[in-house]
Amino acid sequence: MSKRKPATGTITVKKISAIKLNAIKPTVAGNEKNNDIIRFLGVSLAGGKSDKACVALIEYYPKNQKIFLSRLYEKIKSEERISADLKIHELIEQNKDTLEYVAFDVPWRLPSCITCQLPCPGYEVCKEPHITWMWSHFETKNKKKKPKKIFTPYTQRATEMYMATELEETFMLHNALGSNTAPLLARANFITKRMPPQLKCIEVYPKLTLWRIGRTLDVMKSHLRHHRAAFGGDESRRLFLHAMSERNLTFIYHQDMKQMIENSHAFDAFMCALTGFLKYKGLTEKKPVDFPPYEDWIEFPKASIRTKDFV
């Protein structure tokens, strides 16, 4: 860890105004067009009217094989006539030339059944790939369960069903259009609509990234399961970040370390950006062969990931 001046954590009116929206300057100057710097931006969203959204920017220097958490913007909120969404958009826009991935901790696309343009026969008899996969999965996993709780493909995606049953740990994601996630999906969709078309977005489940990397770092499972808990979550985040620091996996400023320990949204934004880096390095899991080809997929680290893979 290293210390720096306590200026850069949050975005304030002094940094972004109704007249000058590019007051937040790019982080590092240099010969970026030659891929001297590759950036990964993680976004942890909260409700549009709250001030909990956070953005993390990771910089990777391929020549030196070094990873830095270069900026952490926490508690991004609307001020006067400047929305928090615009502030997030500006951060993306400023770094667009060197961004490899923008990683969100929520979905930004609607479930396939909502966007489908075909005449709907009902999902009881529909033969679209994602529906046939969901029925097969449902019937396989619910043979001995009574009563059987049927899936709802207009709120739920195949990826949520997969994460709940097919990994080494049960990961219960909220449905993409469930009551908890639907407002966040709408917000993420709004933000991505304004992004330059060349930018690539990925979806991340921070808890799963934390789990896979944490197991590699020998962090106790109990800490990895409860990193967002109201009581003890800060200690879980502290242990994980210090384990990363001890292995020199990512350079993190002292101020940012403190913010991520105190603020779970800031930590999740970092997890999103870090997953973007791992995907760039080919260290995230691919879709299973039998998974519906056009269904959304959540990016998460390979189970076999090792600390030396980070360089």
- pLDDT band for position 48 (50/70/90)? low
What per-residue confidence (pLDDT) applies to 30? 42
With respect to residue 119, please indicate whether it lies within any of the assigned structural domains.
Answer: yes
Per-residue pLDDT reduced to its tens digit, 154-170: 999 999 999 999 999 99
- The Cα–Cα gap between 195 and 185 comes to 15
Per-residue pLDDT reduced to its tens digit, 72-121: 999 998 888 899 999 999 999 999 999 999 999 999 999 999 999 999 99
With respect to residue 9, please indicate whether it lies within any of the assigned structural domains.
Answer: no
The domain total for the chain is: 1
With respect to residue 141, please indicate whether it lies within any of the assigned structural domains.
Answer: yes
Q: What are phi and psi of 160, to 5 degrees?
A: -65, -40
What SS3 string covers the chain?
Answer: CECCCCCCCCCCCCCCCCCCCCCCCCCCCCCHHHCCCEEEEEEECCCCCCCCEEEEEEEEECCCCEEEEEEEEEEECCECCECHHHHHHHHHHHCCCCEEEEEECCCCCCCHHHHCCCCCCCCCCCCCHHHHHHHHHHHHHCCCCCCCCCCCCCCCCHHHHHHHHCCCCCCCCCCCCCCCCHHHHHHHHHHHHCCCCCCCEEEECHHHHHHHHHHHCCCCHHHHHCCCCCCCHHHHHHHHHHHHHHCCCCEEEHHHHHHHHHCHHHHHHHHHHHHHHHHHCCCECCCCCCCCCCCCCEECECCCCCHHHHC
- The Cα–Cα gap between 210 and 190 comes to 27
Q: Report pTM.
A: 0.88
Domain of 139 in residue numbering reads as: 112-165
| Average pLDDT rounded to a whole number, residues 282-294 | 95
With respect to residue 205, please indicate whether it lies within any of the assigned structural domains.
Answer: no
With respect to residue 146, please indicate whether it lies within any of the assigned structural domains.
Answer: yes
Residue 218 or residue 35, greater confidence = 218
With respect to residue 39, please indicate whether it lies within any of the assigned structural domains.
Answer: no
Q: Are 300 and 288 in contact (CB under 8 A)?
A: no
With respect to residue 191, please indicate whether it lies within any of the assigned structural domains.
Answer: no
Q: What mean pLDDT, rounded, does the chain reach?
A: 88
